[in-house]
Structure formats: C-alpha cells, structure tokens
C-alpha cells in the first residue's frame, strides 16, 4: 500500500505546484482579460507591438524568458531592487518567483482564446446595452463578459496547465530549491538526473497525469454547465 | 420636440441633415444607402457628427460649437435596431428589464402594460434564440420602451422580416404609435409603412434632407420623386366609414365630397380611416364615363400638372380639402387637353386601396 501514499517530498512538490499555478492564474487572468479586450476591440498605433509583446514568451526559448526575468526581477535587477527596497517583496529563489515565471509563460496562452471569444461577441450588443442606459463598463460586465465566459474558461485552463508544467523559465529564474521552487516538473527532472531515480520519476509522472486528468474533467463539467446557462440550443 | 441640424462626412457620404419634429410618429424615409441608419446613430450618440446641434425636448444632446456630446447611455433614447440585438445569454424577461437592473433607469413605465401591449406574456421565460424574427423585434421594442426613453428610435424594425411576419407585427406597431405616449422616430424605406404609421415625414436622400412636413402633404409633393421613388407615389386621404354592405363585401368611406367603395375594409361604421391611394391606380376622364367596372368615380379639380418624369405626368386633383395624386402619360395630358383648374372625373380602382389601414384615434 506504500506505493499509493505520497512521500513528503512528493506531497511538497505537488502542493507547491498547485500553489504556484493558482497564484499565477489569479494574477494573470484579470490582466489577460483586459489585454485581450483591448486587442479585440480597439485599433491603435502600436497594436501590433503590444500583440507581439504578449506573444513573445510563446516563441522565445523559455530559458531566455527566465534569464530576462532574472535580469529584471532578480536580486540585482532594476525592478527587483525597486520592489525589494520599497515593499520588501523579493522574487528571487522563492515560490513567488516561480509563480511570476509561470505567469509570464502562460500569459499568451490565456490571452489568445479570450481575445478570440471577445472578437466573437458582436460589439453592437454593447451599443444596445448603452442605449438602455448602461455605462460602457456595466455593458461589458453584463453582456460581453458572460458571453465570452467559455473562452475565458478555456484560456484559464490552458494557462493553469502551462503554469503547472513550466520548467525552463522557472529553473533559470529561481533555480531548483526543494520546498521553494521545486515544482513537479523540476522534481521529475531532478529524479531523472539521480542514479536509481527511476521509481521516483515514475511516481511523479503518475501524479502529474492524475492531476491533469482531474483538471480536464472538472473543466469539462464547468464548460457544460456554462453552455447550458448561456443559451439552450447548443448545450 | 426633436431638433436636428447636423452635417459632416461619414464614410463616403456628405451629411447635411436638418429637421424638426413636434412629437407623434416621425418617419425618416429614404432609399437604401440614403444614410438613414447613420442619421439615427448620430441622434442616438453612436456616431458623432462633425458639426451642428441635436436637441430633444430642450435638452442639448450634441452641440459641436459648445463641445457638448452626451454619451449614448445618458441620452434617454430607446433604440430598436434592425437586427433586434437581444442579449443571447439572457431570458426574454431579463432582456426586457435590462435597463432597470443594468442601466439604472427608474422604470416608470409599467412592465405588465408593455408586456400586454406587445403580446409578450408567453415569451418571458424563453431565450432569444428560440424566438421568431417578429417575436424578437417585439421584445426589442418592449426592452427599449421599458428604458423610459424620451424618444423611441425604430430603425427599420421590419426590414429583416418576411411579409407574413410583418403582417404579424404591424398591428402591434399601430397600437404602439398611438399608445406609447412618447415621440417615435420611425426609419423606413417602405412608403406603405410610412403612410400607415406616421404623422410627420422627413425625406432623406444621399445624406441630405430636402424636405419634411406633415405626411399627407409630403406624399402629394411631386418634386420629391427622386428621393421617394416614383413607383410608390401616392396620396393619403382621410375618411369616415358611413356604411358597410355585407352582401357585396363593400365598405363605404366618405372622404368629403365623394364616397369610396372599398372591399373588405376592417373597420366599422363611424370609424375614421386613413387610406393610401397610389398614383398609378388613379385614372382621369374629362367626362363621366359609362359602363365601367371601376366603382369609384368622382369630380375633382386639377391643381397641378408636373411633366418632368419622362413619358409620365403627375397630376394633383383637389377634392374639397383632400388631394388625390394620379400618374398618367404625358400623351394623355395632351389628348385630353388637361390644364390646371379643369374639372375632371377621377377614377380609382376600388381594389387598389390598401385594405390594412389603421384607425385614427
């Protein structure tokens, strides 16, 4: 029965991973919704640049992103020093750094489906909402946002999955410290680098598969409920 | 009172629109591409004109010179769009009450009354996607009404519907125009709808408003052919139903100076009705003809002959205080030696009168 009981270090890696991914999503999602809405609804000078910037972590090697984070948010990075002096916040070599790396890496994956679903919502519905007295922001909250919920859910799931599995940027930015930055992916990597680590690696793989399955099933159930609520026909 | 005097360039169209309307139903009439939707969007605040002024009941909605441009949500203008634009994720009831729970409107208008007026009681629990086109438009009208507007804009609410659906919804519009108690700006390219529903007519042609005024007067203007489209030209006449002959299925309508016989008019004795007589269904004779199937023949005096339209001439004939419009060939004008002031016999094919006419209240 020992096989089915999680070892303390495995348990630690799992909870840390979930904490990092949840924190990353919590910070990223509102920002992603805002950026996606702006990209979907407004044309302005620099639109293409913002779009490219958002997608940059998707095409850059993750190690590069991690290194850039280290240079800017690290102990000696300008933003890192600034935040440390002013608020005492430090991202270096702790779990919040892992969450930051996961946020940056998952951001483009969250923005994309949300932007597509905003583009699919007829902007004329917002005009109708305003003609009925609703302020632009109220119209967004009561009409566009609910209609885009399936896309937002899709983006969130994709982002959460990406955050859970993030490896390259995390290990470059905040290293591989047990209990602080050693998420499932990093623990698995460590196991594969250890002689006789095969069993540990296999167990971690199983944990990752189980968590991924659970997340997928939960999101599918949620999506089904959303579709029913949003408009009967295609439920 | 709605005052509009705006100009500017929108897309390729140079706008120059000026009109006033006192209330009741004002129709904005013009052909496709004349700029009707753009003009209503300017009044509603969805499109910003370059220059000019828009005021509603003394409240300035837009004044370029003073830098005033009230946002859409503060103009208190109900807007019924061509494509209904119901919120697909909300039930009919939540759509109807949207202005109250999201728009902060007080809800002076009674919910039950609007539901009854537009026949919506059986639709309340349904989702918009399960509604027919006509039902959607009725809900959209109700939703706009329940936002307590000071003006209701209806932008071709029937344009996306087939004829059967139009016939379903027209009676509701009839009632609405009489009962709503607020001014309505009704946009249409159908002269039949305009003649049926409106009291004031504003003509819009290529972004310009060449004329506006009382609808009966506007429909007898022969100088507006290009803007209104010749094919549909006709005159409005008012009359009282005096008698109904159930045996032959005829309704007798006294239009002052003549009694018309109209088949199957849905009206009862004593009703006041409004009839549209198309110019192409009117013939003229210099002496009373005999042995004709046409039952409606009466004397009238020619008040105007205009011959600027190719082979045709537009003739206006006065019958006491009403005007009948006729279109005949210029060759006939010459053969019959017609001139202004001449007494003629006006012949109207009885079947040509629109049978779906609303009662004037």
Convert the pLDDT of each residue in A145-195 to its tens digit.
999 998 999 899 989 989 998 999 999 999 998 888 999 999 999 999 988
- What integer pLDDT is reported at residue B77 of this predicted model? 93
pTM for this model (two decimals): 0.78
Number of domains observed in the structure of chain A: 1
Distance CA B29, CA B154 (A): 12
- CATH number, residue A33: 1.10.3720.10
Task: Choose one of B180, B200, B226: the last residue of a domain.
Answer: B226
Distance CA A138, CA A122 (A): 16
Is there a domain that residue A24 lies in?
yes
Q: Chain A partners of B44 at a C-beta cutoff of 8 Å?
A: 131
> What stretches of A74-167 show up as alpha helix (H) in DSSP?
78-87, 95-120, 123-131, 136-139, 145-147, 149-165
Q: Chain B partners of A130 at a C-beta cutoff of 8 Å?
A: 71-73
Residues B88 and B13 in one domain: yes
Is there a domain that residue B308 lies in?
yes
Minimum Cα–Cα distance from A142: chain B residue: B102
Average pLDDT over residues B91-98: 95
Residue B215 to residues B20, B31, B86, B153, Cα–Cα distance (Å)? 14, 17, 32, 18
Residue A121 touches chain B, beta carbons under 8 Å: no
Task: Choose one of B226, B247, B272: the last residue of a domain.
Answer: B226
User: What is the pLDDT confidence band of residue A232, given thresholds at 50, 70 and 90?
Assistant: very low
Average pLDDT over residues A4-20: 88
How high is the mean pLDDT of chain A? 89
Q: Chain B partners of A128 at a C-beta cutoff of 8 Å?
A: 79, 81, 85, 87
Is there a domain that residue B348 lies in?
yes
Q: Do B85 and A142 touch (CB under 8 A)?
A: no
Is there a domain that residue A232 lies in?
no
Its ipTM equals 0.81
Residues B165 and B310 in one domain: no
Closest CA to B204 of B6, B48, B340: B6
Q: Domain span at residue B62?
A: 2-226
Residue A58 touches chain B, beta carbons under 8 Å: no
Q: Domain span at residue A19?
A: 7-183
Is there a domain that residue B128 lies in?
yes
Is there a domain that residue A116 lies in?
yes
Q: What is the pLDDT of residues B35-80, one digit of tens each?
A: 888 999 999 999 999 999 999 988 999 999 999 999 999 999 999 9
CA atoms within 13 A on the CB side of B86: 29
Is there a domain that residue B282 lies in?
yes
Residues B143 and B247 in one domain: no
Residue B172 touches chain A, beta carbons under 8 Å: no
Task: Choose one of B182, B205, B226: the last residue of a domain.
Answer: B226
Q: Do B77 and A147 touch (CB under 8 A)?
A: no
What's the N-to-C CA distance of chain B in angstroms?
A: 21
Is there a domain that residue B359 lies in?
no
Is there a domain that residue A20 lies in?
yes
How high is the mean pLDDT of chain B? 85
- CATH number, residue B249: 2.40.50.100
Of the partner residues A124, A131, A138, the one whose CB lies closest to the CB of residue B78: A131
For residues B4 and B20, the answer to whether their CB atoms sit within 8 Å is yes
Residue A227 touches chain B, beta carbons under 8 Å: no
Name the residue with tokens 């005829």. B250
Quote the distance between the C-alpha of residue B49 and its chain's center: 25
Structure tokens belonging to residue B134: 């006509």
Q: What is the pLDDT of residues A36-82, one digit of tens each?
A: 999 999 999 999 999 999 999 999 999 999 999 999 998 888 888 88
Residues B221 and B286 in one domain: no
Closest CA to B285 of B248, B328, B322: B328
Q: Do B73 and A130 touch (CB under 8 A)?
A: yes
Q: Do B88 and A127 touch (CB under 8 A)?
A: no
Q: What is the pLDDT of residues B97-113, one digit of tens each?
A: 999 999 888 878 889 98
Q: Do A131 and B105 touch (CB under 8 A)?
A: no
Residues B269 and B203 in one domain: no
Q: Do B85 and A124 touch (CB under 8 A)?
A: yes
For residues A184 and A208, the answer to whether their CB atoms sit within 8 Å is yes
Number of domains observed in the structure of chain B: 2
Of the partner residues B83, B103, B130, the one whose CB lies closest to the CB of residue A132: B103
CA atoms within 13 A on the CB side of B42: 30
Q: What is the pLDDT of residues A196-212, one digit of tens each?
A: 888 889 999 999 899 88
For residue B6, pLDDT over 70 is answered with yes
Is there a domain that residue A206 lies in?
no
Burial of A160 (0-12, 13-18, 19+ CB in 10 A): buried
Phi and psi (nearest 5°) for B146? -75, 0
Residues B203 and B265 in one domain: no
Q: Chain B partners of A117 at a C-beta cutoff of 8 Å?
A: none
Is there a domain that residue B195 lies in?
yes
Of the partner residues B71, B83, B129, the one whose CB lies closest to the CB of residue A231: B129
- What integer pLDDT is reported at residue B309 of this predicted model? 61
Is there a domain that residue B361 lies in?
no
Burial of B236 (0-12, 13-18, 19+ CB in 10 A): buried
- What integer pLDDT is reported at residue B224 of this predicted model? 67
Is there a domain that residue B137 lies in?
yes
User: What is the pLDDT confidence band of residue B256, given thresholds at 50, 70 and 90?
Assistant: confident
- CATH number, residue B50: 3.40.50.300
Nearest-neighbour CA in chain B from A133: distance (Å): 4
Q: Which residues pair with B10 in a beta bridge?
A: B13
Is there a domain that residue A168 lies in?
yes
Q: Do A134 and B76 touch (CB under 8 A)?
A: no
Residues B77 and B20 in one domain: yes
Residues B37 and B169 in one domain: yes
Residues B221 and B294 in one domain: no
């Amino acid at each position: 029965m020992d096989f089915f009981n999680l070892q303390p270090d495995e348990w630690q890696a799992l909870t840390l991973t979930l904490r990092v991914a949840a924190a990353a999503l919590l910070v990223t999602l509102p920002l992603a919704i805002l950026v996606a809405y702006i990209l979907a609804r407004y044309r302005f000078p620099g639109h293409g640049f913002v779009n490219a910037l958002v997608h940059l972590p998707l095409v850059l090697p993750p190690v590069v992103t991690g290194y850039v984070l280290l240079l800017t948010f690290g102990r000696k990075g300008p933003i890192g020093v600034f935040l440390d002096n002013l608020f005492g916040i430090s991202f270096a070599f702790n779990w919040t750094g892992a969450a930051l790396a996961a946020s940056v890496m998952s951001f483009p994956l969250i923005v994309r489906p949300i932007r597509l679903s905003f583009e699919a919502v007829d902007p004329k519905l917002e005009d109708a909402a305003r003609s009925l007295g609703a302020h632009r922001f109220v119209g967004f909250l009561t009409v566009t946002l609910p209609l885009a919920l399936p896309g937002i859910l899709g983006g969130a799931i994709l982002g959460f999955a990406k955050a859970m599995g993030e490896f390259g940027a995390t290990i470059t930015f905040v290293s591989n410290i047990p209990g602080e930055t050693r998420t499932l992916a990093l623990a698995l990597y460590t196991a594969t680098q250890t002689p006789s680590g095969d069993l540990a690696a296999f167990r971690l793989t199983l944990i990752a598969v189980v968590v991924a399955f659970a997340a997928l099933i939960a999101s599918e159930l949620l999506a089904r409920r959303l579709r029913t609520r949003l408009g009967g026909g295609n439920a | 009172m709605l005052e509009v005097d705006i100009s500017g360039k929108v897309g390729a169209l140079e706008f120059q629109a000026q009109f006033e309307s006192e209330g009741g139903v004002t129709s904005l009439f013009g052909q496709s591409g004349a700029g009707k939707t753009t003009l209503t969007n300017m009044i509603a605040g969805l499109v910003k004109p370059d220059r000019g002024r828009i005021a509603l009941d003394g409240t300035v909605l837009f004044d370029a010179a003073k830098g005033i441009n009230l946002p859409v949500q503060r103009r208190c203008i109900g807007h019924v769009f061509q494509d209904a634009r119901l919120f697909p994720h909300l039930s009919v009831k939540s759509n109807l009450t949207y202005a109250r729970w999201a728009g902060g409107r007080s809800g002076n208008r009674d919910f039950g009354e609007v539901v009854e007026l537009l026949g919506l009681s059986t639709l309340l629990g349904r989702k918009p996607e399960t509604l027919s086109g006509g039902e959607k438009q009725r809900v959209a009208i109700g939703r706009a009404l329940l936002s307590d507007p000071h003006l209701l804009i209806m932008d071709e609410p029937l344009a996306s519907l087939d004829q059967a659906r139009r016939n379903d919804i027209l009676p509701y519009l009839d009632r609405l125009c009489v009962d709503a108690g607020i001014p309505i700006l009704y946009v249409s390219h159908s002269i039949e709808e305009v003649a049926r529903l409106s009291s004031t007519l504003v003509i819009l042609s290529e972004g310009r408003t060449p004329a506006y005024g009382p609808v009966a007067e506007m429909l007898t203007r022969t100088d507006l052919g290009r803007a209104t489209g010749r094919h549909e030209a006709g005159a409005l006449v008012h009359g009282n139903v005096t008698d109904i002959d159930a045996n032959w299925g005829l309704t007798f309508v006294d239009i002052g100076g003549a009694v018309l016989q109209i088949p199957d008019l849905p009206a009862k004795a004593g009703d006041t009705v409004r009839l549209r007589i198309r110019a192409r269904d009117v013939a003229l004779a210099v002496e009373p003809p005999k042995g004709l199937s046409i039952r409606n023949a009466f004397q009238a005096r020619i008040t105007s002959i205009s011959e600027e339209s190719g082979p045709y001439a537009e003739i206006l004939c006065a019958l006491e205080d009403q005007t009948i419009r006729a279109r005949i060939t210029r060759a006939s004008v010459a053969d019959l030696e017609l001139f202004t002031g001449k007494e003629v016999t006006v012949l109207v094919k009885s079947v040509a009168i629109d049978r779906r006419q609303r009662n004037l209240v």
